Amino acid sequence: MAHPLIAWALALLQTLLFIASAPLLAGWIKCVRCVLQNRASPSVLQPYRDLGKLFRKKVVLAEEASWLFRSTPYIVLGTMILAAAVIPLVTVRLPTDAIADVIVLVGFLALGRFFLALAGLDIGTSFGGMGSSREMMVASLAEPAMLMAVFTLSMTASSTNLSTAMHYLLQSGLVLRPAFVFTAAGLMMVAIAETGRLPVDNPATHLELTMIHEGMILEYSGRHLALMEWASEIKLMIYAVLIADIFLPWGIATRFTAWALVMGVVAIGAKLALLVVLLAVIESGLAKMRLFRVPEFLNLAFLLCLLGLLSHIILEVGI
């Protein structure tokens, strides 16, 4: 174990890297999607430029906006940064990992979502209200599935701490776990629903009658909108890193040497790039679902996660 001060510095650096590279991931998704659809793609750095532009613009507030509406962007971004801090990105066993376990991580995401939904209702426009109610519907179905996936991981590793669980997975080597196959599929479906990607929500359009996320942030402008956009990019990154961490933990640094850390950065970069290509292929291949079919989609995700848990108990415990 390294000096505590160095470890904290590393944890801070890792979190900064996490939130700074989130727009890059969003840009990379757009690029891959454009290539798949035979369109000329914007630069990978376009999300940074968008954020910069929005930060420079003036904030326009509705007359009825309360303090809740003004403070929500900061709360949402804050919860996302906290959540990002507890996920091992480059290395495991950092002091921030001990702050919160996976269940608290789900709680952070829920807290951000709660305030987002309140802000959607605050102004009183019909789109905001519809967006909030839909977001809560999706969340109420996606969260149990996500928790099932988390339980499967915790039961396998006998720990709810993400860092400890990853350490266990790395040490047990390459084991075929039927539970993880189902859980990976279920968690991916949850991630698609929670980050508002196709086929649940279309991230690329405003003013669609079925929009969910865009409906809630429709009234935001300028700095507030930039914070919201950034928070949703971090959320996408959180899910991507979580999937990469749990199901492909190899390559992450377990010691604090320079070489291991560089390898960790390269490994997570490669894993995320590949995952995003997979996501883009899924998104390009599917049409957006009708809103009333979303519960069926999430029901399947829940079933997959439940099957993962069951097959863990039946096939992997007590051998």
Partner 1 sequence: MVAVGLYTQAIRMLAALVLFTSFALLAQTRMAALIRLFAWQGALLAVTTALVALVTHQPRLYLSALLTLGLKALLIPWFLNRLVIRLELQHETEDLRGNAMVLLGAAALTVFSYYVVMPIVELSTLVTRNVIAVSLAIVLLGMLLIIVRRKAVTQVVGFMCMENGLFFAAVVSTYGMPMVVELGVAFDVLVASILFGVFFLHLRDSIDSLDVDRLNRLREADE
State yes or no: residue 170 binds partner 1 (CB under 8 A). no
125 vs 8: CA distance, rounded Å: 44
State yes or no: residue 154 binds partner 1 (CB under 8 A). no
Query: If we measure between CA atoms, which residue out of 177, 147, 159 comes closest to residue 248?
Result: 177
In angstroms, give the least distance from the CB of 158 to partner 1.
10
Backbone angles phi, psi at 91, to 5 degrees: -145, 150
253 vs 129: CA distance, rounded Å: 44
In angstroms, give the least distance from the CB of 184 to partner 1.
13
Total interface residues for partner 1 by CB under 8 A:
22
Q: From the list 129, 178, 222, 269, which residue makes contact with partner 1 (rule: CB under 8 A)? A: 178
Q: How far is CA 198 from CA 35, 60, 232, in A?
A: 17, 30, 15
In angstroms, give the least distance from the CB of 313 to partner 1.
7
Q: Among the candidate windows 51-59, 81-89, 189-197, 292-300, which touches partner 1 by CB under 8 A?
A: 292-300
State yes or no: residue 274 binds partner 1 (CB under 8 A). no
In angstroms, give the least distance from the CB of 162 to partner 1.
19
Q: From the list 172, 255, 274, 278, which residue makes contact with partner 1 (rule: CB under 8 A)? A: 172
Q: Is residue 70 exposed (0-12), middle (13-18) or buried (19+ Cβ within 10 Å)?
A: middle
Q: Among the candidate windows 21-29, 103-111, 175-183, 259-267, which touches partner 1 by CB under 8 A?
A: 175-183
In angstroms, give the least distance from the CB of 175 to partner 1.
6
Q: From the list 24, 36, 104, 181, which residue makes contact with partner 1 (rule: CB under 8 A)? A: 181
Non-local (6+) Cβ contacts of 240 within 8 A are 25, 191, 272, 275, 276, 279
Non-local (6+) Cβ contacts of 306 within 8 A are 148
| Contact of 30 with 46, CB cutoff 8 Å | yes
Query: If we measure between CA atoms, which residue out of 78, 79, 82 comes closest to residue 15?
Result: 82
State yes or no: residue 300 binds partner 1 (CB under 8 A). yes
Q: Which residues bind partner 1 (CB under 8 A)?
A: 172, 175-176, 178-179, 181-182, 295-296, 299-300, 303, 306-307, 310-311, 313-316, 318-319
